[in-house]
Structure 1
Amino acid sequence: MKIVVVADTHMPKMSKSLPAALRGQLKDADAIIHAGDWTRLSVYDELSAYAPVYGVVGNNDGPDIASRFGMRELLTFGGLRIGVVHGHGAPRRMNTEAQALAAFSGERLSAIVYGHSHVPVLRHDPDGTLVFNPGSPTDKRRQPLYSFGIFTIDDGRLAARHLTYADKR
């Protein structure tokens, strides 16, 4: 199973359409996870033309998106549980990743996906949970490249990687 993982698309402000690198990976996706800051519901429509889309609301999303998606989502693919949250709303002393982890405190998960920071992250916490931020396919901010993620689930095992590129067209 192939799952494309995105966050922080900020469309149409940061891009009028999904980048070609992302569209190429969506063609054979079994599912898509969006970790918030869509900014337009049309992003959902564009993504859903490829595969089923699951997601959460981000701090830059309006009431139309907030009425469709929750603040956090628990998903199950291939027997693996994946928590999704945008990661905003943290107290000043808590960073985005800590906020995302706190959103699923006490949950047994294979992975936690979050966005908000636009900083790609791929690591495992001490319990073995994958902690993943796909970065942004359209708004790299202070990152050298645009990015999104690919999860592959095979025989109950989750593999994750980032795809990066310099041109968001």
Structure 2
Amino acid sequence: MIVVVVSDTHMPRMSKKLPDRLVRELKKADAVIHAGDWTKLSVYEELSTFAPTDGVAGNNDGPDIIDRFGYRKILTFEGCRIGVVHGHGIGKRPNTEERALEAFNGIKLEAVIFGHSHIPVHRLVGSTHVFNPGSPTDKRRQLRYSFGIMEIIAGKLRAKHIFFDDKS
């Protein structure tokens, strides 16, 4: 199973369309997870044309997105439990990862996905993948745009980033 992971698309302000590099991977996806800051429900609608799409709301999302997705959830794919949260809250941005982990404190998960900082992260905390895909449309101070791919085979999860230079 292939799961494409995105966050912080901030569309249409930061881009009028999904980047071509992302679309190539979406065409192979079995599912899509968005970790918040969609900013328009039309992003969900577009992602859903490629594969079943779910996610959470971020701090820049309106009531329509908040009502549809909420701020925190656990998704299960082929037996792998994945916690999804945007990661915003009280405190500075360097606390985003800590807030994401705290949102699922004491819950056994294969992965915690978060966004908010636009900083790609992939590390293990114990056996849990801690993963921020970065942003495919708003790299901010990062050198490149990014999103993630999670591959789940026989109940084992692998995650990686896809980095690219042009968001067109």
Query: Could you say which residue in structure 2 is the equivalent of 1:25?
Result: 25
Any gaps of 5 or more consecutive residues in structure 2? none
What letter matches 1:96 in structure 2? T
TM-score, length-normalised on structure 2?
A: 0.98
Query: Could you say which residue in structure 2 is the equivalent of 1:153?
Result: 152
**Residue pair 2:148, 2:161 contacting (<8 A) in 1 also:** yes
TM-superposed deviation, 1:90: 3.1
TM-superposed deviation, 1:54: 0.8
Query: Could you say which residue in structure 2 is the equivalent of 1:104?
Result: 104
- What SS does the aligned partner of 1:67 have? helix
TM-score, length-normalised on structure 1?
A: 0.97
TM-superposed deviation, 1:115: 0.1
Query: Could you say which residue in structure 2 is the equivalent of 1:49?
Result: 49
**Residue pair 2:111, 2:129 contacting (<8 A) in 1 also:** yes
**Residue pair 1:90, 1:99 contacting (<8 A) in 2 also:** no
Query: Could you say which residue in structure 2 is the equivalent of 1:36?
Result: 36
The verdict on how the C-alpha distance between 1:92 and 1:168 changes in structure 2, with shifts beyond 3 A counting, is closer
Cα separation, 2, equivalents of 1:38 and 1:159: 25
Q: Percent identity?
A: 64
Any gaps of 5 or more consecutive residues in structure 1? none
Cα separation, 1, equivalents of 2:56 and 2:89: 14
The count of residues paired between Structure 1 and Structure 2 equals 168
